[in-house]
Amino acid sequence: MDWGLESRMARIIRPSTGRGVMLAVDHGYFMGPTNHLEVPSKTIAPIVDYCDSLMLTRGVLRTSVPASSAVPVVLRVSGGSSIIGKDLSNERITTGMREAVRLNASAVAMSIFVGAAYEQKTLVGLGKLVDEASEVGMPVLAVTAVGKELEKRDARYLSLACRIAAEFGANMVKTYYCEDFEKVVESCPVPIIVAGGPKVSEREALELVHNSVSAGAAGVDMGRNIWQSDRPVPMIKAVRSIVHDNASVDEALELVNSS
């Protein structure tokens, strides 16, 4: 791995544990002012110091995160469809590589929609993004998006999507946790980061984190289960304790309940 690429990767997946906690606040790019993320600066400020990296769009980065913040940025560079539009899979690259470098991004992220109407467009887009990113030593995170078809979250489908992302050159893949997740990890030659998903109870969210890293995930990219919690700071600390300190679910939950 080239030095610049390796250095950027080390900001996202900590070499000391081989894992990372990514805080996702990119939801507005297709969902608009999501519940508890209506004013991004207010949501981000109290919890940003507890993540290893922050995933967001350039608009929210520039308006809502001080440039003095040292947080490594995973810049979402794809979009083009909204939650009320015709087809969520109709995405393309919306932010260029020079802009990513200008914003001091530590990685760029785009969604691929395997099996959806615009599968080919998003996969070819991934190939092009990897070409451009390689020129400047920028890691690419491929997000295996499922759109509205949540039934696709099984090991067979997610293994297919993650493997294709890695074959196209993604340096990291973000996907969903599922039964037999070890199989998804085993057949993907690059680190896998697990997305949080819609808000569930704190115990269920922490179980998801624990199950994911126990099955070999290199960390989580969690949003709603942190900032839609009544206790976002203890919640992100609890997530960290599992990811980096191998805490049990009960130990992590205790951090939340004793706050």
The residues of the shown chain that bind ligand 5RP, judged by CB under 6 A, are 24, 26, 55, 111, 143, 145, 195-197, 221-225
Helix segments in the chain, DSSP class H: 3-12, 28-31, 40-44, 58-64, 97-102, 119-136, 155-167, 181-186, 202-214, 224-227, 232-245, 249-257
Q: Based on CB atoms, which residue is closest to ligand 5RP, 21 or 97? A: 21
Q: Diameter of the chain by CA atoms?
A: 49
Closest approach of Cβ 41 to ligand 5RP, in Å?
18
Minimal distance, residue 237 CB to ligand 5RP, in Å? 16
* Pick 1 or 117: Cβ nearer ligand 5RP: 117
CB of 60 to ligand 5RP, least distance (A): 12
The nearer residue to ligand 5RP, 138 or 205, going by C-beta atoms, is 205
Measured at the CA of 89, the angle between CA 171 and CA 168, to 5 degrees, comes to 25
- Catalytic residue among 128, 152, 174, 183, which? 174
Is 174 a known active-site residue?
Answer: yes
* CA dist., res. 37 & res. 44, Å (int): 8
Q: By Cβ distance, which residue is nearest to ligand 5RP? A: 196
Amino acid at site 21: V
Tokens of 139: 């890691």
Please, which residues bridge with residue 141 across strands?
A: 109, 172
**Shorter beta-carbon distance to ligand 5RP: residue 103 or 137:** 103
Compute the CA torsion angle 155, 218, 70, 97 (nearest 10 deg): -50
Beta carbon of residue 220, minimum distance to ligand 5RP (angstroms, whole number): 8
DSSP strand pairing (107-112 vs 73-76): parallel
Nearest approach, Cβ of residue 3 and ligand 5RP (Å) = 28
Quick one: which of 198, 256, 186 has its CA closest to 225? 198
DSSP state of 152: G
CA distance 58 to 64: 10
Nearer to ligand 5RP, 24 or 165 (CB): 24
Looking at the annotation, which residues are catalytic?
A: 174
